[in-house]
């Protein structure tokens, strides 16, 4: 069990640029989740996958946000045309199945200049 891995750990970009984050879940976990955490708040659920199927995406914050998990293994979260308000920690988690404990990565901290 190597844990959930997220890359990069930190991303600094200018407003208006596109960014993409990667998440590698625990290998036997078929569920993968994305959350956003802003300063002083708990994580906020964005979307999740079961294998390669994205089962919930209504919580994505706007149409600038999209996520993929093309082969049911790693996942990417993309933010297009970044805005100041997108600055946050983006967390990925994985689990063995529905309502099983979720294991989190260390997150990607996004800073928008």
Judged by CB under 8 A, the number of residues near other proteins is 30
**Shorter beta-carbon distance to other proteins: residue 19 or 92:** 92
Are the C-beta atoms of 107 and 89 separated by less than 8 Å? yes
Q: How far is the CB of 5 from other proteins (least distance, A)?
A: 10
Q: How far is the CB of 16 from other proteins (least distance, A)?
A: 27
Q: Which residues inside 26-85 make contact with other proteins, applying CB under 8 A?
A: 31, 33, 35, 40-48, 55-56, 58-59
Distances (CA, A) of 19 to 2, 32, 76, 84, 96: 26, 20, 10, 13, 28
Q: How far is the CB of 38 from other proteins (least distance, A)?
A: 11
Distance CA 54, CA 32 (A): 9
**Shorter beta-carbon distance to other proteins: residue 18 or 55:** 55
Distances (CA, A) of 40 to 8, 37, 44, 85: 22, 8, 12, 15
Are the C-beta atoms of 24 and 73 separated by less than 8 Å? yes
23 lies in the site for other proteins, by CB under 8 A: no
Strands 88-95 and 103-104 turn out to be antiparallel
Binding site for other proteins (CB under 8 A): 4, 6, 31, 33, 35, 40-48, 55-56, 58-59, 91, 93, 98-99, 101-107, 109
């Amino acid at each position: 069990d190597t844990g959930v891995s997220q890359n990069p750990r930190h991303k600094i970009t200018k407003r208006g640029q596109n960014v993409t984050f990667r998440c590698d879940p625990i290998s036997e976990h078929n569920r993968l989740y994305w959350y956003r955490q802003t300063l002083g708040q708990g994580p906020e659920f964005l979307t999740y996958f079961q294998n390669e199927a994205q089962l919930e995406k209504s919580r994505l914050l706007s149409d600038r946000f999209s996520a993929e998990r093309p082969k049911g293994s790693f996942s990417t979260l993309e933010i297009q045309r970044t805005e100041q308000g997108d600055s946050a920690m983006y967390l990925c988690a994985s689990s063995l199945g529905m309502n099983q404990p979720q294991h989190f990565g260390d997150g990607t901290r996004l800073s928008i200049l």
